[in-house]
Amino acid sequence: MSKNHKRGKSHRFIVVTSLLVLFAVLFNDQFANAAVTGNFGQAEQNQSPVRGKGTIHVCVMYANMDHETYTNKSGLPNGSFEITLSKRKNSSKKIVSNVSFETATFEPNTKVLGNVNDAQCQTFNNLKFGKYYYNEEQGVGSPWLTPLYNDKLETVENTRSFYVYKFVGFENDPRADRADGVLNLKRSAPEQTIIIFNWFSLETQH
């Protein structure tokens, strides 16, 4: 085999290898960016996603006793709510954030049930893979009823897709893990969401 022929094969190998490396870099960048696309408000995505880490969305929806949801703050009773997202269960340590919501500042930025923004979400990026925990929402009082939860966004089909915290008494029911206080970030599921459904009854004030 001639030296020129060997050089030609070597040159082609280098070119093909370089193209494969370039393709892999571009593909991985697109995949990383795609991990946080969807219906979530861009204003809340205040950090760039990092490869190998995950994202958690904490969202709130409001509705009356007939499960009619609100798409703005008009007509909502006063209410201040807080839910804690942490890395350790039932602990004040390793808190990611104490997430607060108020009806007076309700500005939906996410579509959950339809084509109109009906949920207000706060997004936390660049979280290490592993389990995260959310507690029961605090600050609930008249005229607000017991809040409901769903931490599986893809299963939210209507306002009946929300459940009491930990679905007490139904631990063996497959629906129990939709409000169990646990969000598990992993390579196969790098993005998780907890939606709190706050609903009220003005009759409770009488």
CB contact set of 164 (below 8 Å; sequence gap of 6+): 146, 148, 149, 179
Of 12, 31, 35, 28, nearest to 193 by C-alpha is: 35
Q: What pLDDT, on the 0 to 100 scale, is given for residue 52?
A: 76
The whole-angstrom distance between residue 78's C-alpha and the CA centroid of its chain comes to 25
Q: Which residues are registered as beta bridge partners of 62?
A: 198
Q: What pLDDT, on the 0 to 100 scale, is given for residue 89?
A: 78
Two tokens at 151?
């931490």
> CA 179 → CA 26, 58, 113, 174, distances in Å?
37, 13, 18, 11
CA–CA dist 167, 27 (Å, integer): 41
Q: What pLDDT, on the 0 to 100 scale, is given for residue 13?
A: 46
CA–CA dist 190, 128 (Å, integer): 9
pLDDT digit string (tens) for 159-201? 988 988 885 555 566 666 788 899 999 999 999 999 999 999 9
Q: What pLDDT, on the 0 to 100 scale, is given for residue 103?
A: 96
Q: What pLDDT, on the 0 to 100 scale, is given for residue 141?
A: 78
Indicate the length of the chain as a whole number: 206
Of 160, 161, 145, nearest to 193 by C-alpha is: 161
In terms of pTM, does the model score above 0.85? no
Q: What pLDDT, on the 0 to 100 scale, is given for residue 14?
A: 47
For the chain, residues with pLDDT lower than 70 are: 1-50, 91, 153-155, 167-176, 204-206
Two tokens at 130?
């592993």
Q: What pLDDT, on the 0 to 100 scale, is given for residue 152?
A: 79
Contact indicator for 197, 147 with CB cutoff of 8 Å? yes
Burial 88-117 (b: 16+ CB within 10 A, else e): eeeeeeeebeebebbbeebebbbbbeeeeb
